């Protein structure tokens, strides 16, 4: 899930919530994974509210720009196909 935060950290919104709900209904995201996502969401919001972690320096965020020379991120195979990939060794 993407979190879009204003540069001054006063407003934020989650993106892709409908897609996330859909993959939950399909069972692609398990209950265990969902609990981990919920915990990570709570932690991200706490860091915004407390201005800590990556959100400690609002001046840096307001000046941040994507470097076009960086390669585009890629999804793991399971994220593209929706199929689970068993971890190595089990």
pLDDT per position as a tens digit, 35-47: 999 999 999 999 9
Task: Give tens-digit pLDDT for 14-72.
Answer: 999 999 999 999 999 999 999 999 999 999 999 999 999 888 888 877 788 889 999 98
pLDDT above 60: residue 88? no
Q: Look at the block and give the residue holding tokens 């991200």.
A: 44
Q: Would you say how long the chain is, in residues?
A: 90
Q: Which residue has the higher pLDDT, 18 or 86?
A: 18
Separation in Å, CA 49 to CA 26, 54, 56, 57, 76: 33, 12, 10, 13, 31
User: What pLDDT score was predicted for residue 7?
Assistant: 84
Domain ranges within the chain, ordered by starting residue:
2-58
pLDDT above 80: residue 90? no
């Amino acid at each position: 899930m993407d979190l879009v935060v204003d540069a001054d950290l006063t407003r934020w919104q989650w993106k892709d919530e409908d897609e996330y709900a859909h993959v939950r209904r399909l069972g692609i995201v398990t209950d265990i994974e969902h609990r981990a996502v919920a915990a990570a969401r709570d932690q991200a919001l706490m860091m915004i509210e407390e201005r800590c972690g990556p959100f400690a320096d609002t001046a840096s965020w307001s000046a941040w720009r994507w470097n076009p020379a960086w390669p585009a991120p890629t999804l793991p195979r399971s994220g593209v196909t929706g199929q689970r990939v068993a971890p190595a060794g089990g």
